Structure formats: C-alpha cells, structure tokens
Structure 1
Amino acid sequence: MGHTCRGTINLATATITVDDACNFVISNGGAQTYHLKASCEVERQRWITALELAKAKAAHLQQESGSQNSEVQSALRTLGSKVEDLSTCNDLISKHGSALQRSLSELDSLRLTGEAGDKIRQVTERATLFRITSNAMINACRDFLALAQAHSKKWQKALQAEREQRVRLEETLETLAKQHNHLERAFRGAAAISVRVGSAGPGPGKGEASDEDDDNEFFDAMEEAPEFITVPEPLTMSQEPSQELVPLKKRRTRIPDKPNYSLNLWSIMKNCIGKELSKIPMPVNFNEPISMLQRLSEDLEYYELLDKAAKCHSSLEQMCYVAAFSVSSYSTTVHRTGKPFNPLLGETYELDRRREYGYRSLCEQVSHHPPAAAHHAISDRGWTLRQEITVASKFRGKYLSIMPLGTIHAIFEKGQSHYTWKKVTTTVHNIIVGKLWIDQSGEIDVVNHTTGDRCHLKFAPYSYFSRDVARKVTGVVMDKDGKAHYVLSGTWDEKMELSRVMQSSRGGENGAEGKQKTVYQTLKAREIWRRNPLPEGAETMYYFTSLALTLNEMEDGVAPTDSRRRPDQRLMEDGRWDEANAEKQRLEEKQRSARREREREAVNAPHDNYNALWFDRCNDPINGEPVHIYKGGYWESKERGSWEGCPDIF
C-alpha cells in the first residue's frame, strides 16, 4: 500500500512465528502484535505460506525499488553536475569571448587597411559564431536534463514492473523450498522422538528400520546348508600370462585443491527451469575438472567384478557379479555434486590399464545435440563392455533430474554370455537452499540374452517419510523359468551382499499395490562388493576417488582429441577459473563454427552429417537400437603415432 493506517504492520520487516498447532503471531517488534488463530493446522499453514510469500516479495521489492531509485537519482545527479560544469564553462566562454571581441573592436578602430584589416574582420566573425554555438550547446544540455528528470518516474515504474515479473517465480520457489526444508526438519525431529533412527539428514543417512513396503521379504534360512556361490581365487603370479616384468607407471595421488570460491548455483539455475541443460552454457564454477567421457570411464573402477564373472562356471553365479557391477558404478557419485565438462564433438578419452589390470577403454563424443558418448572396453581376462549413453537433464525447480538413455552391454568369451542393462535416474537435491546431495532411483533389469536369466534391481528413492535404509538396492536373480536362485541387497554407495535362495513362497500379507509379497528363505548373506575408501583429502579435491585423480593426468602418445589435452579443463584443474571460462567460450564458438561449415557443405542433408572417427553408426544386433559400435583402429594408430584423421577441436 502507498499509505498506512492505524494498526498497520509493514510485512517487509515483520516477524511471523508459529505459536502452536493452530495459532501464529505477526509482530513488528514494537507496539503492534497480532495473535491469530486458524481453524486447523492445515489452514494455519496456508496463512503462513501466503504471508511468508508476501513478506519475501515486499522485502525484495523494497530493496529493488530502493536500488532502482538510487541508481536513477545517482545518474540524474551526475548529469546535473555535468550540465553545471558546462554552464560554468559557458560563462567563462562568454566572459573571455566578450573580452576577445572588445580587443578585436579596438584593433578594428585602428582603421587598418589591406590584408591586416580583412584578417581582423574574419577573426571577429568566427569569434561571434563560436559564442552562438556554445550557447546552443548549453541550451541543448539543459533541455536534455529537463527531459531526463521528467521521464525518470516513468523509467522507474517500467523497470520495477519488469523486475517484479521476473522475480515472482524465483521468490515463490525459494520460499517454498525453505518451507519444505523446515517441514522436513520438523518431521525428522518428530520421528526421532517416536522411533530410533540410525542417521537422518540429507545426504540421507543409514540405519533406519524398514517399512517393508517392497513386494519381497527376505529371511535367513535355518538350515546350515553349504553355500552355492564361491568367490574365485585371485590370479597368482604362476597363473598370469608370462610377460617381461616392466615397472608400472607411478600415478598421481593428488590434484590442486579446489579454490574456495563463493558460488550460488541458484543464481544460474533459476533461468533454466524446465530446459534441457546440455543446451545452456554453464560456467566452469559448477564443474569438476574431468569430462563426461572420463566420468563414463569411471564405470570401470570395479572391473574386478567383471574379471570374477568371466571365470564363473554357472551363468546364475555370473549374473550376481554382473548385477553387482551395474550397481557399483553409482558409488562414485555420492559426494560428486560437480558437473563434468560436456565433451566437444569428436573429443576422445582413452584409459589404458592393460599392464596393470588387463583392460583398456576408449570413449568418443559421437553427437553434440543430443550429447552422446560411445564407450568400448576390452579385457585380456575374457570380457568386453560397450555402451552409448545420451544424457537428458531437466531442472525441475528444487531439484535436477539426470536421465541417462542408452543400453550397456557386457559380453563374456566363456559361454558367449551377452548381458544388457540400462542406467537409473540421478537426482541432485537442494538446488535452491541447503547442501546439495545426490540420490539414485529407478529399476534395472539385467538380462542374459544367451540363457534367459535375469536380475531385477530396485533403487529405492530417498524419502524423509520412510524408515527404510537410505540408498537401498534390492534384487532377485531368476532363471528363464522365473525361479529365484539368489537375492541381492545392499546400498549403491557402500556394499552389496548376496544370499542363495533355499525356498520361496507367497506370503499372506499384501505388499505394494495390493500384490502378495514373495517370502524368500535364504542362506546367510555374503558380501560380493564393497566401495573403495576415498583418498586422504578428497573433500578438497572434488571428492575424487583414487582412480578419478589419475584420469586427467597427462600421458604420452594419446590422441590430439583426448580430454587430457582440453585447455579449459586443464586450466580449471590448475585453479585458474577465470582463464578456464574464457577458454571454454572460445572452444564452444570454435565448435559452433565447425558445425556451420558442415551444414554449408551438406545443404540438402536431413541432419548434421557428422561421422565419428572410431565408431560406426548402426542398429544394435541385440535390441535394434541405433547405436555406435567401435570399429577398431585406435590402438593401432597409437602404436604407429599416426593421428592424421583426427579433427582439430582444441
């Protein structure tokens, strides 16, 4: 309101507090205090929400208005000061001009003739013209100042309306997010009184009791029967293929500490609501100093699970290791809130660990919009892993959803077993307020296309209202006839265990969606996978694992398109973020120019006619999806040191 009346409280400076379930208090800290009572708790909360929104808006508009008025008035004062300076100059010009003309008149009175007289008359005329022009300039400046003062109110009003419209959505979102956090904290406080909770809190904790809302229940069987699964022995030196013993490269264990910059993710993200984030240029301030190709290569951190799977004689036992491997790739994400660099089209990344661990891996960015990366890894120990991942990401207001699209394939030489599965959705919470934390949710079907075996895995989304263990994953391994042989249980950030199923039956109690629960009697659980501990000081190094710390270490002989050679990423790793942002803009503009050039060369092409260098576009023989499959040649080119076909992208 533009005016006040008796009893008015200015919302911008008011305090709003909750008294009890239905009562609340509005006060200005002085004489005015209102004690209000709603008919129920829900109605009280509706009032609180409406008042808090109005308060946030009032405070913001007051601040904006004051800022706008201050800016405009400051500009007008500066203009006025400059016009005063001009006016002073004009007075001096008039004064000196008059003196000049008097002197000229005195010269003229000497009745000089000939050329001298003509010159004096010419100078007199020019002095007169100069005085007229300077007077006109001063008058124009005065008119400009008068117009600026007359229109200043109109400018302020238009500017205020524009800003008001722009901030309305972000104010609402920010306030609701804070209220949501408040309610969640209140719920946790209440839950702590009624039940014993192991650990609560975002980056949600562990140890809560189970609600048993799943369709399956697991019980340890009483029989002391021998367990079916055996853990394969690690290779001894005598089992290793004979090779010349060459000292392995000592890899780095540290990178420069992350600079302590004050960042506000919300200031960037509020303009991206509902948009596909891969199309929005983001500063390196929100990145981690590795590319998406390097992040994809991190899926191989627990390659030992595939080594063990390759040795299994039982396809069902093999399925357990493959399913555990599909879960293990998420363990690196639990603290990793930084965004990897979007690879440039044609960028590659090699991870050659053949001498140490028997595998080597190659990634290539095969599409820019939508961004897609093809990955191919092969091991001397009898397995191949390939995938093409397209990442779709949407900002939903309070959280960010990242949906990896594409299929992962694992093929084993023994038995020619061919497995496929897809990735689950990653969610980044607390974009607006609070500490960022990451959750994984969804379901994965790991299928053995050779035998028909399958494992159905469930990643339970975190909920403040569930007493279940956080980051929980459960799964059942079944043969082609649907008979359960093993159950898997654990968490995606810590460990997975397996148990052999001795007997299964339908329970009398209904589970989720009214379906009968299946009760599995199992032998004692055995750990099949556990996350590696983070290196010392990881919290200052983007929470990188020991493997991640080595990914961007420069190596001899890699392709000129390798992510290790990317200059903006290297500058960021060195802590030179301003230079990294400038370099990132240069590289993105270079990429846009290359795309425009390709479009000019193929005017009639229905789409971007880009062809990957190391991968062929085809339809997948297993599921028919369009996909890029490694065609060979990279490692041979590296041995020759011949990279003639590589594009110039950096």
Structure 2
Amino acid sequence: MSKKEKSPKKKTKKSTKKKELNEKQILRQKLLKIYPYLKRDKSFRALRKFMQSRIHKSGGVQLLNSKEVKQQRVWCWDVVKQVGKDFLEGKDLTRIALPARLFEPRSFLERLAEGFAYAPLYLEQAYKATDPIERMKNVVCFMFAGLHLSLTNSKPFNPILGETYQCYFQNGTQIFCEQTSHHPPVSAFQLIGPNDKYMYHGYGNWSASFKGNSIDVSQKGKYELDFNDGTKYTWDNPNVRINGILIKDRVTNYEGMIKFTDKKNDLGCVIFFDPDALGFFKSLIFSSSTPRHCVKGYIYNLSKEKQKNWEEISLSRITGAWVDNLTFDEKVYWKIDNNLPERPHPSKTYIPSDSRYRKDRKALAKLEWDKAAKMKVEGEEKQRYDRKLRAQQLKDMKKNNN
C-alpha cells in the first residue's frame, strides 16, 4: 500500500517538471515558427533548408508564409499611411521609425558577422594558395557564398550608436563589429584570422528606399582583405531588391555587379547578377532564359580592363547562382549542400555596449511585442541624446582649437 501511495506523488512531480519544460519548448517553437533561420546550428542547416524550399520560379528567394506576409503588409500599410508622401518620394527607410513587429530578435551587427561564416573554409584555402588566380577564386567564394546567409524575412534591429558585437570561429578567427554612425547608419567590422594570417576589415553604410511595391537596399563603403604576404583585395557589395512588399509574391534578389581587385598580381574579377535580364519593356513580352538569381563573371588582368571584351581578356569564366553554387571553368568551388559554413560563436566575455544587452532584443526573443516596442523607443531616444552630446563635444573641441 505504501508503494501505491507514493507512486502518485512521483507522477505529480514528474508531470509538474514536464509542464515547466513544455512551456519553454512552446515559446521556442513559437519563436522558431516566426524566425526559423535563428535556429542554432553550427552549419546553418536550418537556414539552408528553409531557403531552398522557397526559391521562386523566376529566380530569387520567396517568403512563402502567407500569414506572415499578410501581417507584415498590414504593418507596412500603416507605415505608408503615416509617411505616405515620403514613401512615394523614395525616402531613406533608415530615417523612418518602423514597428517592432517587423524586426527579428537580433541586431544588424549579429547578422553582419554571420555573413562571414565561410571565412574558416575559403580564407584558409586562399591563404595556402600559391597561384594568384587560385587565391582570387577562393576570395571570391568567401564573399559570394555568404550572400544567402544575409537574407531573412524580418529586419534586424538597427544598431544603436556605439553598439558593439564580438564573436569568433573555432579556428581562432576573431570578429569585432561596431556602429560608428547613427545618420547615416555606418557599421564597421574587423575579422582577424588565426596567427594574423589575414585581416578583413572595412565599413558599410546601409540605405533603403521604398519604390512603390519594392524596397531597394544598398551598402556603400570599404571592404578590404589583407594577407600577411602583402596581397590586398578590395571589392564592393551588390544591391538587394525586395519585390512584393504590398502586393504579389514577396521575392528577394541581388542586383548589379561586384568587382574584385588584386593590384599586386594585376588581377580583377567581375560578377554580374541576372546577366540575361531583358529590361522592363522586353520583360513584359518575353521571359528571360535564366532565373534572376543566376550570375556570370570573369577573372582577368587589370591592365587589360579597358578593352571591355570580357570573353577575350578572360583568364577564368564564372557561372553559378547565389542561391546554390559558384563554378570556375566548369569546376564547382562552392555548392550550398556540400561546402558547409560555420556559424560564429558569440564571445563569452563582452563589454557593456554589446548587442546582447539590448532590452528590445531580449523582449522580442520572448515574443513580448509591446515591451519590445517600448524598449526600442527608449533606445532610440537615448541614441538621439548621445548623438547631441557627441556633436556638442566636437563643436567645443573645434572652438578650443581655434
């Protein structure tokens, strides 16, 4: 009898413990349902599977969750009603306060660092390469392969002026990011390879403008990769276009071109996105022969660049698609299913300005929408005050120097 009497108590304890765990699991399931690409996975398998399932028939990545699209459009229409004239004029969206529900629970600095996820693979291979052309190929792969990691359904929080983020890779690579300007928003970064083999550093000034039913995003700045043997690479970033903001399919694509330079070895590389694009009027009648996510490019001698005939001056021909692969002279160098990146690990010790201290980010991670919105406003107000103090201090310094 005593055993039978004790058994219900044990069951009660177990059921209570199980209920507590379920509450945490339910929150996690809700969070991942909204932000499935935030699942912690060393090789981004969750994001890759999520992205591959939504490649649009015309090219690019589509947001398939109809409920999420519908809800985002409600919020977008609310913003349009508030600042309609500015939207029609293509005003920079970085100057418009957006509702917290359009954001994901992380800062842009965190997403910036995740775009470097192929550094342990391709920068290490580039460092070991003795042939300048082979090194160029691996440098291009490092930048190109990371493009799909930077696209998500929701917008990350804009970093607060002075905000920082630190992380690392298992091979010893260290990453440091900092928000150095509020308007225009400028994010600086430094990636230092193990034993100082290489350093990738620079800054980006993000801008976004509303174009009727699409948003155009660009990032101007400086992107430089230095190897310890004196070789230096520079390049720029392609533009991003998000179609279907208010109506039709929500599809994201990269546009324009990227140009890489290696002046030491007289090498250049160009990659054209959507190379078979027909233009606006032709596209109304005809269909492109290739999806919009396809690319074409060439490695060539910089000294012959003025000839502009890429086929004639080409040292290596490039084909591929930013959602899937990159091929040099029919040899695949990057394949999304085969060449796995490493998710950067947040540093265990970090300074008070780190993104992980943000209150709005923590609230959103718990799906506390109202609290996240309130914390977001508080952070923005603090930033404006801090910006005034910096401006006044600079003014006083100039006055004292004169």
TM over 0.5: yes
The question of whether the paired residues in 1 share the 8 Å contact of 2:363 and 2:369 is answered with yes
User: Alignment partner for residue 594 of structure 1, among 386, 392, 399?
Assistant: 386
Do structure 1's residue 404 and structure 2's residue 219 form an aligned pair?
yes
Do structure 1's residue 309 and structure 2's residue 164 form an aligned pair?
no
Partner of 1:530: 335
Q: Deviations over 1:588-632 (max 9, x none)?
A: 11111222333444546789xxxxxxxxxxxxxxxxxxxxxxxxx
Partner of 1:636: none
The question of whether the paired residues in 1 share the 8 Å contact of 2:79 and 2:98 is answered with no
Q: Deviations over 1:252-298 (max 9, x none)?
A: xxxxxx99993324314423331111111112211122211112112
Do structure 1's residue 422 and structure 2's residue 232 form an aligned pair?
no
TM-superposed deviation, 1:532:
5.2
Q: For the aligned residues, what is the CA RMSD?
A: 2.9
CA distance change for structure 1 residues 261 and 468 in 2, over 3 Å: closer, same or farther?
closer
The question of whether the paired residues in 1 share the 8 Å contact of 2:114 and 2:150 is answered with no
Partner of 1:441: 255
Do structure 1's residue 328 and structure 2's residue 328 form an aligned pair?
no
Q: Distance in 1 between matches of 2:321 and 2:77?
A: 33
Q: Distance in 1 between matches of 2:244 and 2:75?
A: 10
Do structure 1's residue 547 and structure 2's residue 356 form an aligned pair?
no
The question of whether the paired residues in 2 share the 8 Å contact of 1:259 and 1:575 is answered with no
Q: What stretches of structure 1 of length at least 5 have no aligned partner?
A: 1-197, 206-257, 500-524, 536-544, 608-650
User: Alignment partner for residue 582 of structure 1, among 374, 378, 401?
Assistant: 374
For residue 300 of structure 1, give the secondary structure of its aligned residue in structure 2. Answer: coil
1:115-514 paired onto structure 2 within 5 Å: 200-201=57-58, 203=60, 262-263=71-72, 264-270=74-80, 271=83, 272-273=87-88, 274-303=90-119, 304-334=121-151, 336-353=152-169, 356-380=170-194, 382-414=197-229, 416-460=230-274, 465-482=287-304, 483-499=313-329
The question of whether the paired residues in 1 share the 8 Å contact of 2:239 and 2:256 is answered with yes
Q: Distance in 1 between matches of 2:136 and 2:75?
A: 41
TM-superposed deviation, 1:363:
0.5
Q: Report the identity percentage.
A: 25
Q: How many residues align?
A: 316
Q: Higher relative CO (CA 8 A, sep ≥ 6), structure 1 or 2?
A: 2
CA distance change for structure 1 residues 488 and 260 in 2, over 3 Å: closer, same or farther?
closer
CA distance change for structure 1 residues 391 and 449 in 2, over 3 Å: closer, same or farther?
same
Q: What stretches of structure 2 of length at least 5 have no aligned partner?
A: 1-54, 305-312
For residue 275 of structure 1, give the secondary structure of its aligned residue in structure 2. Answer: coil
Partner of 2:307: none
TM-superposed deviation, 1:570:
1.5
Q: Distance in 1 between matches of 2:395 and 2:92?
A: 27
CA distance change for structure 1 residues 568 and 402 in 2, over 3 Å: closer, same or farther?
same
TM-superposed deviation, 1:469:
3.0
Q: Distance in 2 between matches of 1:563 and 1:412?
A: 29
Q: Distance in 1 between matches of 2:397 and 2:155?
A: 33
- The TM-score normalised by the length of structure 1 is 0.45
Q: Deviations over 1:201-225 (max 9, x none)?
A: 57469xxxxxxxxxxxxxxxxxxxx
TM-superposed deviation, 1:325:
1.9
Q: Distance in 2 between matches of 1:469 and 1:435?
A: 15
CA distance change for structure 1 residues 380 and 573 in 2, over 3 Å: closer, same or farther?
same
Partner of 2:26: none
TM-superposed deviation, 1:359:
0.5
Q: Distance in 1 between matches of 2:268 and 2:192?
A: 23
The question of whether the paired residues in 2 share the 8 Å contact of 1:284 and 1:577 is answered with yes
The question of whether the paired residues in 2 share the 8 Å contact of 1:265 and 1:431 is answered with no
Partner of 1:23: none
CA distance change for structure 1 residues 497 and 260 in 2, over 3 Å: closer, same or farther?
closer
- The TM-score normalised by the length of structure 2 is 0.72
TM-superposed deviation, 1:576:
1.2
TM-superposed deviation, 1:531:
2.2
For residue 343 of structure 1, give the secondary structure of its aligned residue in structure 2. Answer: coil
Structure with higher Rg: it is 1
Q: Distance in 2 between matches of 1:359 and 1:546?
A: 11
